[in-house]
A = this chain, B = another copy of it.
Amino acid sequence: MDDFQGQGRETVVTMADAYTLSRAERRDQQTQRILDAAKACFVRSGFQGASMQEVCAEVGMSPGALYRYFPSKEAIIEAICEVDRQQDIESFITFLENPSIVDGLVEAAVAHITHVHERGNAALFAEIRAESTRNETIQTTCLKCQQQVYEIIRERVRLATERGEIDPPVDLDTLMAAFMAIGEGIALNDLPSLGVPVANLEILLRAMVEGMLRPTGRTTADSR
């Protein structure tokens, strides 16, 4: 995997490979290779700490070639942030579907934790988070993704409160701010990697969410 673009002429991998790829396909594939390699470098050395030379070495590509795919280092960073944030958020949203709010929140949180853990993304998230306080583009990306989750949860909590299914001890805004902050803390710390069993975590999170939402026991429909 290392002597990809070697020195000799005969080791060069031609564009028309065993299974011939179109120009566009090849381009997409190379772009992805760069993003993957850059991500590894950025996790290792930080956005500012990693040099383009380091990224080039990781991809196995010369600077001249790499700059045909991205116009600048910043563009690579921003692309990585965009993809990462969107992916993180999608797994979360999917699991919010459960009709019970408490179950939905807990399941989504557990799915999110598992997702971050499996992809080893906690360190990158920490990096993105720090960078987002400085880079406006990244900040916008983060906010946009966060808001998707925020709006959905907020609306569901609001409706459930209106219906009398839950009785939170504080206003909706405080509740939501706390939820988002807590979720971030848990994702950032990658608890499974610290040896915390997800099953135990789920029990605790349910107790926590119930404490914060105070389910009344009655439901409008026959959801149980």
Q: Which of A183-205 contact B (CB under 8 A)?
A: 183-186, 188-189, 191, 194-197, 200-201, 203-205
Interface string of A140-175 (1 = CB under 8 A from B): 000000000000000000000000000011110111
The one of B169, B175, B185 in contact with A183, judged by C-beta atoms closer than 8 angstroms, is B185
Classify the secondary structure of A's interface with B: helix
Residue of B nearest to A191 (CB): B177
A134 within 8 A of B: yes
Docked pose: A223 CA to B9 CA in angstroms: 80
A131 within 8 A of B: yes
Docked pose: A204 CA to B211 CA in angstroms: 9
Residues of B within 8 A of A173 (CB): 195-196
A216 within 8 A of B: no
A172 to B: closest C-beta gap in Å: 11
Binding site for B on A (CB under 8 A): 43-49, 123, 126-127, 129-131, 133-134, 168-171, 173-175, 177-178, 180-186, 188-189, 191, 194-197, 200-201, 203-205, 207-212, 214
